[in-house]
Amino acid sequence: VTALASTANVMRHAFSAGIADYRAIFTWRSWVFGWMVRVVAQVSFFGLIGLRVADDRSAFYLLIGNALAVAAQAGVFSLNMTTTERWAGTLPLLVASPTSPVVVFAARGAYLAVDGALSAVLALFIAGPLFGLHLPWPRVVAVIPLTGLVALSAYCLGTFLAGLVFRFREINGLVVNTTYVGLMAACGVNVPLSYYPQAIEWLAHGLPLTNGLLAIREVFHGDAVGSILGHAGAEALVGAAWLTLALLTFNRLASRGRLDGSLDYGA
Partner 1 sequence: MKGFLAGFNLELRIIRSGPDALLPLFTAPLFTIIFLAIVRNGGRHDLQPDALMAPVLMTLWWFALFQGGNLITGDRWQGILEWALAAPTSFATVILGRVAAIMVFGFVGFFEVWGIGELVFGVGIPFKHPLALVLTIVGTMFAMAGTAVVFAALFVLTRNAYTFTNSASFPFYVLGGVFVPIAILPGWIQPVSSVIFMSWSADLLRASLKPEHIHDFWGRLGMVVLLGAVSFAIGRAVLALVLRRMRVTGELATA
Given the rule CB under 8 A, which residues bind partner 1? 25-26, 30, 34-35, 37-39, 41-42, 44-45, 48-54, 58, 62, 170-174, 177-178, 181-182, 184-185, 190-192, 195-196
Instruction: For partner 1, give the closer residue by CB, 102 or 154.
Output: 154
To the nearest whole angstrom, how small is the minimum distance from the Cβ of residue 94 to partner 1?
Answer: 22
To the nearest whole angstrom, how small is the minimum distance from the Cβ of residue 142 to partner 1?
Answer: 27
- CA angle (139, 141, 145) in 5-degree steps: 125
Instruction: For partner 1, give the closer residue by CB, 38 or 258.
Output: 38
Identify which of 153, 114, 142, 130 has the alpha carbon closest to the alpha carbon of residue 48. 130
Q: What are phi and psi of 186, to 5 degrees?
A: -100, -20
Contact 109, 16 (CB under 8 A): no
To the nearest whole angstrom, how small is the minimum distance from the Cβ of residue 201 to partner 1?
Answer: 13
To the nearest whole angstrom, how small is the minimum distance from the Cβ of residue 31 to partner 1?
Answer: 9
Instruction: Read off the amino acid at residue 240.
Output: A
Instruction: For partner 1, give the closer residue by CB, 33 or 136.
Output: 33
Instruction: For partner 1, give the closer residue by CB, 34 or 129.
Output: 34
Give, as one character, the DSSP assignment of residue 264.
S
To the nearest whole angstrom, how small is the minimum distance from the Cβ of residue 181 to partner 1?
Answer: 4
Q: Which residues, 6 or more positions from 264, have their beta carbon under 8 angstroms from its beta carbon?
A: 89, 91, 92
Instruction: For partner 1, give the closer residue by CB, 39 or 246.
Output: 39
| CA atoms of 144 and 118, how far apart (whole Å) | 8
Torsion angle of the four alpha carbons 32, 37, 39, 42, in this order, in degrees rounded to the nearest 10: 180
| CA atoms of 178 and 175, how far apart (whole Å) | 5
DSSP for 44-62 reads: HHHHHHHHHHS-HHHHHHH
To the nearest whole angstrom, how small is the minimum distance from the Cβ of residue 64 to partner 1?
Answer: 14
To the nearest whole angstrom, how small is the minimum distance from the Cβ of residue 89 to partner 1?
Answer: 15
Identify which of 178, 179, 165, 174 has the alpha carbon closest to the alpha carbon of residue 249. 165
Instruction: For partner 1, give the closer residue by CB, 57 or 252.
Output: 57
Instruction: For partner 1, give the closer residue by CB, 37 or 88.
Output: 37
